[in-house]
Amino acid sequence: MADDILAQITEKLLIGETERVVALTEEALSAGLEPLVIINQGLLPGMEEAGEKFSRGEFFLPHLLIAAKGMQEAMALLEPELSLRQETPEVVGTVVIGTVHGDIHEIGKSLVGTLLSVNGFQVHDLGVDVPLERFVEKVQETGADILGLSALLTTTMIGQREVIEALDEAGIRDQVKVLVGGSPVSRKWANSIGADGYAEDALGAVEVARQVLGLGV
């Protein structure tokens, strides 16, 4: 029965039936399954398959966003249970992420944050239109391993360079890996501003995050 519930969670997450994913997660808890088992054997396989389908061109961004929504809602149900049991999924790194000042684009940044969370990163999402001082403060506060800077406009991507300069001025640039992304951003731009990594899409961001921390892919 346990294997059946877990398989159903994977299946329903993959096909975007968010309400059913949450209901099955509740059912799994009621059946006595441990939260980490539900995550590792039910939810994660579904997200991993969704990511693979996206990379093969079988899924498009809306499919990935719906799967991520199912994962987020199920995790909201599981997190209190994890706290009660004093259990947490393995954390492979801490990430601060946000869209730079003057830019209010959210979808791509949020998807990157979700996929990083799914892949074991503790993510602090600062949202959109984030002042450079806030990025610096949050990196200092959390001791983040990675700072992710998103920009979706050519007029705002300059903010990525300004944040890196602010990290330098604060004396913490060497303590955090800076990843940049967004539709106008390129590898050439990333190199020119001294970023540590660049990715074209959310799946690529996860790979680059693991690479810069020496975790492999």
Q: Summarize pLDDT for 6-25 with one digit per residue, the tens.
A: 999 999 999 999 999 999 99
What's the pLDDT score for residue 216? 64
Winning range, highest mean pLDDT, from 28-32, 67-71, 80-84, 165-169: 165-169
Q: Which residues pair with 93 in a beta bridge?
A: 121
Both tokens of 19, joined, read 């309400």
Q: What is the model's pTM?
A: 0.76
**Complete domains list, the chain, with CATH:** 2-84 (1.10.1240.10), 93-212 (3.40.50.280)
What average pLDDT does range 208-213 have in this prediction?
94
Q: Is the pLDDT of residue 55 over 80?
A: no
Amino acid at 24: L
Residue of 90 and 101 predicted with greater confidence: 101
| 90 pLDDT more than 70 | yes
Strand order in the sheet with 121-125: 121-125, 93-99, 146-150, 177-181, 197-198
Candidates 112, 125, 195; CA nearest to 157 is 195
Task: State pLDDT tens for residues 152-183.
Answer: 999 999 999 999 999 999 999 999 999 999 98
Q: Which residues of 137-175 are buried (b: 16+ CB within 10 A; e: fewer)?
A: ebbbeeebbbbbbbbbbeebbebbbbbbebbeeeebbee
140 vs 120, more confident: 140
Number of alpha helices (DSSP H) and beta strands (DSSP E) in the chain:
10, 5
| Cα→Cα distances 71→105, 115, 184, Å | 22, 10, 29
In this predicted structure, the answer to whether residue 1 has a pLDDT above a threshold of 80 is no
Q: What are the C-alpha distances in Å from 89 to residues 67, 77, 84?
A: 19, 14, 14
State the Cα–Cα distance between residues 69 and 145, nearest whole angstrom.
25
